[in-house]
Amino acid sequence: MNMLKRYAKAGLAAAAIFFSGSSVASVITPDAGWYGFCFGDVGSSAYEGCQNQGVGTVGNIIELTLTDAAWLKVTDGFNIGDMFDVYVDSALAFTTSLPGQGSELVDPDALFASGYYSAGSMLLEAGSYAIEIFAAASPFGGGGAYVEVESAVAVPAPATLAILGLALGGLGFARRSKS
């Protein structure tokens, strides 16, 4: 019986270690800012850490619920050369751009807009999503990067602007005709 208790304790300890190491989903708040994440060599998944200029850190799987459309944005950070495969609901959604040549930057907005650092984005409609990020290129064997969800700004379609212009012109003409 004493031996059975030892095996039971050992089994419980092993289970505790196994389950404590299992990943818990990260949650991103839209419009909060950039979240940092770490990654290893090619094929490795994002994991928590590597916050520099961001508002927090995330790892795979990232859960997200949107009430309106928003942009999912990913950019490399720190060292130019890394690229990422971004999966939305287990399907490859996009691979970030090829990196360019340029100066070293630290601000995530500047990194995303630079054209030097690998970056990519995708418009997501309202709904719930599970996002995963994997290193597609990692010349330094790992590093840090950023992910952000930013609300989409409603921009009127050109046809809508034309109709509005015609309506205003018609009102101006009608007013002039009355005078």
Mean pLDDT for 15-29 is 57
CA 76 to chain centre: 11
Paired tokens of 113:
């807009």
How many whole angstroms from its chain centre is CA 148? Answer: 4
User: pLDDT tens-digit profile of 92-131?
Assistant: 999 999 998 888 888 999 999 999 999 999 999 999 999 9
Structural tokens at position 173: 């003409």
When mean pLDDT is compared across 11-20, 60-69, 75-84, the lowest value belongs to 11-20
pLDDT of res. 56:
86
Query: What top-level class would CATH report for the domain 24-178?
Result: mainly beta
Question: For residue 20, what pLDDT band results from cuts at 50, 70 and 90?
Answer: very low
Q: Is the pLDDT of residue 178 over 80?
A: no
Say what the pLDDT of residue 79 is. 87
The Cβ of residue 55 has, within 10 Å, a number of other Cβ atoms equal to 15
Sign (positive/negative) of CA torsion 100, 101, 106, 107?
negative
Read off φ and ψ for residue 56, nearest 5 degrees: 175, -170
Per-domain residue ranges for the chain? 24-178
Q: Which of 68, 67, 44, 47 is nearest to 57 (CA)?
A: 47
Residue 53 has pLDDT above 70, yes or no: yes
